[in-house]
């Protein structure tokens, strides 16, 4: 994994630039903690942004984000190589200021821009699907593998992490001096997201054990900060 990369002109954060980071460790830590990516493309019908599962790994050509979808998915129909913008956002808290103008959120976010390319070779496709699956739900080793028809119906895309940016806000509201002695409350409301206890499917037959990776999720922070 590269230690750092310079932002490109189009991944340079302009407003709130002090909160921006472009090093691989920060970008990867946000992507590791996130669960859902919002992926935007331009289609013949206009722009579309879809929430999708994703995975991250160091590929042969460098770090990459992997996404998958049905071939019929509007985004996947766009073509073989596709200009995308992928965003992952984690909200860590509400920042309540003394005036609504200064209300904010504590957050960690990443924006990845680049050309997505399809992974078609069957073994490479399976390996990529495992990365996506296990990013959120580590069950690949404990579940039925995808069938050949599952694989044929699924397109897997790789997006290089080379052009990416992170933005992180933490801490108190930033109020104006004239408000500091005023009557209004200010502070932070943390947002905590935890996985609950696994709840067996109503049609579960026999008594298969909860996969270890699923059992281990219970009670853990869904968006760990490190
Ligand atoms: C939960 C949340 C809520 C937000 N709410 C608002 C809001 O209500 N209004 C508002 O104006 N802004 C909001 N922001 C900030 C917003 O995402 C942009 O960072 C901000 O608008 C400044 O963009 P810019 O003009 O500097 O960047 P642009 O010129 O729009 O973008 C240039 C490049 O900067 C990078 N970049 C921009 N924003 C981010 C980001 N958040 N994370 C990682 N990389 C980024 C991207 O690589 C992008 O290609 C919010 C952010 C988060 C995470």
- Global pTM reads 0.94
Tell me which of 56-70, 166-180, 201-215 is least confident.
56-70
Delimit the domains of the chain by residue range.
Answer: 9-215
**Binning pLDDT at 50, 70 and 90, where does residue 60 land?**
confident
Of the candidates 2, 34, 10, 5, the residue with the CA atom closest to the CA atom of residue 168: 34
- In whole angstroms, what is the distance from residue 171 CA to residue 151 CA? 45
The reply to whether ligand 1 has any atom less than 6 angstroms from the CB of 191 is no
Encoding tokens for residue 175?
A: 């109020």
* pLDDT, tens digit (0-9, with 9 covering 90-100), for 77-99: 655 668 999 999 999 999 999 99
The residue whose C-alpha atom lies closest to atom 8 belonging to ligand 1 is 104
The residue whose C-alpha atom lies closest to atom 49 belonging to ligand 1 is 11
Instruction: Report the DSSP beta bridge partners of residue 210.
Output: none
Position 43 scores a pLDDT of 85
- Sign of the C-alpha dihedral, residues 166, 62, 31, 39? positive
The reply to whether ligand 1 has any atom less than 6 angstroms from the CB of 111 is yes
* pLDDT, tens digit (0-9, with 9 covering 90-100), for 192-223: 999 999 999 999 999 999 999 999 999 999 99
The reply to whether ligand 1 has any atom less than 6 angstroms from the CB of 106 is no
- In whole angstroms, what is the distance from residue 131 CA to residue 171 CA? 33
> Looking at domain 9-215, which CATH architecture does it have?
Roll (2.30)
The CA–CA distances, whole Å, from 109 to 26, 40, 98 equal 10, 15, 25
- In whole angstroms, what is the distance from residue 145 CA to residue 130 CA? 10
* pLDDT, tens digit (0-9, with 9 covering 90-100), for 2-43: 444 678 999 999 999 999 999 999 999 999 999 999 999 998
Question: Which residue among 29, 100, 111 is best mutated to probe the pocket of ligand 1, counting the most ligand atoms within 8 A of its Cβ?
Answer: 111
Residue 226 predicted with pLDDT over 70: no
Cα of 169 to ligand 1 centre, how many Å?
11
Position 4 scores a pLDDT of 47
* pLDDT, tens digit (0-9, with 9 covering 90-100), for 27-38: 999 999 999 999
Encoding tokens for residue 126?
A: 């399976």
Cα of 13 to ligand 1 centre, how many Å?
7
Q: What are phi and psi of 141, to 5 degrees?
A: -75, -15
Per-chain mean pLDDT for the chain: 92
Position 69 scores a pLDDT of 87
The reply to whether ligand 1 has any atom less than 6 angstroms from the CB of 167 is yes
Atom of ligand 1 nearest to the CA of 163: 47
Position 6 scores a pLDDT of 77
């Amino acid at each position: 994994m590269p230690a750092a990369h310079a932002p490109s002109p189009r991944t340079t954060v302009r407003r709130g630039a002090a909160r921006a980071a472009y090093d691989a460790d920060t970008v990867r830590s946000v992507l590791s903690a996130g669960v859902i990516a919002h992926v935007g493309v331009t289609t013949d019908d206009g722009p579309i942004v879809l929430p999708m599962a994703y995975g991250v790994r160091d590929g042969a050509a460098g770090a990459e984000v992997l996404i998958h979808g049905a071939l019929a998915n509007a985004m996947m129909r766009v073509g073989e190589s596709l200009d995308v913008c992928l965003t992952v956002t984690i909200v860590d808290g509400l920042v309540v200021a003394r005036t609504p103008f200064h209300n904010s959120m504590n957050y960690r976010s990443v924006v990845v821009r680049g050309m997505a390319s399809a992974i078609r070779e069957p073994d490479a496709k399976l390996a990529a699907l495992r990365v996506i699956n296990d990013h959120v739900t580590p069950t690949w080793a404990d579940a039925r593998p995808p069938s050949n028809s599952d694989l044929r119906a699924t397109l897997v895309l790789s997006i290089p992490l080379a052009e990416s940016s992170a933005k992180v806000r933490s801490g108190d509201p930033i109020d104006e001096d004239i408000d500091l002695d005023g009557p209004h409350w200010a502070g932070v409301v943390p947002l905590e997201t935890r996985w609950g206890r696994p709840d067996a499917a109503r049609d579960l037959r026999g008594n298969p054990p909860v996969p270890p990776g699923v059992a281990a999720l219970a009670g853990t922070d869904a968006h760990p900060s490190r």
